[in-house]
Amino acid sequence: MPRFVQFVNLLLNDVTYLLDEGLSKLIDINRLQKELEVNPFTLDASTQPPERREREQLLATTERQAASYISLSNETVSLLTKFTLFVPDAFVYPEVVDRLARMLNFNQVVLTGDKCKNLKVKDPAKYRFNPKELLSMIVDIYLNLRAKQAFVLACARDGRSYRKEVFLKTLVILKKYSLKGYQDIDKFEKFVNAVEEAKLQEEEGEEALGDIPEHFLGTAIYTGADIDPLMYTLMENPVILPTSKVSVDLSTIKSHLLSDPSDPFNRSPLKIEDVTPSTIKR
């Protein structure tokens, strides 16, 4: 399974990159189309102002890039949907589950939030962009992993993008456009409630712990604290890196090594076999 987890990490890299680039290109197209609408008159190419010709050329280039990125992102998200259905356990390893949850939550916000209007372009099918279908595939991934508590917790821990109201808005869209059947909508609603409950429990736990001392949250390298210096979260399984001598959580360094086989603090070559358990005193 570890080798497959490496594949999962690469798949997440591809999905994150393609969606980010594709949706960013749509935002650029939206802006360029609006700029060109300021002067709607069709002019002969020889009489068009240089600025307009440059904008039209840039629009044409951006449209080609958008079609390529979005087409690939559709295929990759579809592949991710299939894999999470057939091998869900591979997606809840500590090394990848938080990245997956953050990616899904973020793109759900993009597709349903206020910024969604920036994705509106003329003839979206030209770029193979179907926001409802893309949102539906993202919901499929949530549904495929809804029974995995590690995934539920990862979604709840995402302080950047997780908001219950975003999930509720997705539910409204699913019902309004009949993107899912009654059973799937019911399952998704129960999943949303489970994530919110997990978030509330985590917040209660943080309140019980009290404030984290400021010197634990600094940028200085240290080896004796409970706080992971990369993620700024409480370490559950601290280990020491052999050359930098920094203590990090085992899941954090495993996740890092999937993409970069080096110590994040001094760039020395590093393998997971080289780390040793920390002797942090609690």
Contact criterion met (CB below 8 Å) for 60 and 111: no
pLDDT for residue 48: 67
Express the helix, strand and coil content of the chain in percent, nearest 5 each.
65, 5, 30
pLDDT for residue 234: 74
Long-range pairs for 153-156: beta carbons < 8 A, 24 or more residues apart: 153/198, 153/202, 154/92, 154/97, 154/98, 154/100, 154/101, 154/102, 155/101, 155/104, 155/105, 155/195, 155/198, 156/195, 156/196, 156/198, 156/199, 156/202
pLDDT for residue 139: 98
Residue 248 φ/ψ, nearest 5 degrees: -135, 165
Q: Which domains does the chain have, with CATH numbers?
A: 2-207 (no CATH), 214-277 (3.30.40.10)
77/23 Cα distance (integer angstroms): 14
Residue ranges of the chain with per-residue pLDDT less than 70: 1, 39-48, 206-225, 232, 279-282
pLDDT for residue 221: 41
Q: What is the pLDDT of residues 34-48, one digit of tens each?
A: 988 876 555 555 556
pLDDT for residue 229: 82
